Structure 1
């Protein structure tokens, strides 16, 4: 429990208002230093056999212009790649809004790297008001937890998902951290905290729906 909460507090979170495909969009940005050299991080995030061990099974063509699909989750196209440093993909979930993911990894020393994830989407204003950036950010906090465990050699992936009594406090703390980031971006504090509570209820299944 202490390990995953320590990881959570080690993430830097930013919320930015931007544009995507000429429409107003929101970016959630996560930065985390991980205990692995760049080449190991890059392999973990770009090789299908590795991705499925800490995230989800993936199929398709992972080269530029190729299309991929994550089992039960997003699909999209590989838009750009700077091998060993960054890649950008479209990120589509069902009939959801336009969305892109930019991944960057930078060495901080010989055996540590800084990972940055920026997920930009043209989120429906009503959804953003109801759930805030945590609607996307909580899921990425969980993904970075899986990545860090994988890089440390700790069993991870869907089959090793921690029990609810461990993950629910993690998701509640993640929701609150995203409320902090929203407030720093100019959101009304009361509205941001209320959105965080709704996000926590969604991810923990206490709103009657549960996370997808």
Structure 2
């Protein structure tokens, strides 16, 4: 999967992390579809962002373990078609499809469940566009979905795209101490905004507004280690 090509921001006016964080929530596109067949609910979350780099560099950032560790997390395993991967402290799975410089798909195995993730890299007017699609099928009306909605995974993906922005735009990477970083006021505001936006996506997908907003509030509380706002 790795093309072993690396680049990065070189502009002397490279934005700072604070500037990147302040703009991040508004430069990300989020989508959600929900369908129910019998007792099964199918959800597809989509999140995408354009970065000021080339397709080759963005692909490399998403496939080279050394770069993934800088903005996402340590990833080990056989990162080739059919290989098994493991994300430190998170999911593992199998790489099911790979079209170099274009897309890859993998199983997302976490907490005894399995879902599916596809990453696409495409050309864009202002650089290269990253798009992630996360598909899941489960019991309709499941307690976890009712409690947290799409923000449970959506906020996590938002934080990942923020890390990628730090890497490709600010030239840094994910915070060294993420637990300490998330207690800062700007980071907490970002989490609140991300959770709210996923609540809005849930409403657009057909969830009753009061249920979607309550789930978003609980998601915010979960990520910030705080009780939800009544």
Q: TM-score by structure 1 length?
A: 0.89
Q: Is 1:89 paired with 2:89?
A: no
- Of 69, 75, 83, the residue aligned with 2:92 is 75
Counterpart among 136, 154, 157 of residue 137 in structure 1: 154
Higher Rg: 2
Partner of 2:27: 10
Q: How far, CA to CA, are the matches of 2:196 and 2:124 in structure 1? A: 28
Measured against aligned partners, the alpha-carbon deviations of 1:107-153 in whole angstroms (never above 9, x if no partner) come to: 014x6011111111224522111101001100000000001111124
- How far 1:163 sits from its partner (Å)? 4.6
* C-alpha distance in structure 2 between counterparts of 1:154 and 1:205, whole Å: 29
Structure 2 regions of 5+ residues with no counterpart? Answer: 1-17
1:150 aligns with 2:167: yes
Matched-pair contact (CA < 8 Å) for 1:56–1:158? no
Distance 1:51 1:33, change over 3 A: same
Shift of 1:166: 2.2
Which of the numbers 194, 204, 216 marks the counterpart of 1:196? 216
Q: Which runs of 5+ in 1 are unaligned?
A: none
Deviations 1:29-56 (A, max 9, x none): 0011111110000000011111111111
Q: Which residue of 1 aligns with 2:63?
A: 46
Whether the 8 Å CA contact 1:18–1:27 is kept in 2: the answer is no
Paired residue for 1:103? 119
Is the Cα–Cα contact under 8 Å of residues 62 and 68 in structure 2 kept in the other structure?
A: yes
The CA distance in 2 between the partners of 1:143 and 1:40, in whole Å, is 17
Alignment: residue pair count? 203
RMSD over aligned Cα atoms:
1.8
Instruction: Write the deviation string for residues 149-180 of structure 1: whole angstroms up to 9, x where unpaired.
Output: 11124322241643512211111110000011
The aligned residue for residue 62 of structure 1 is 79
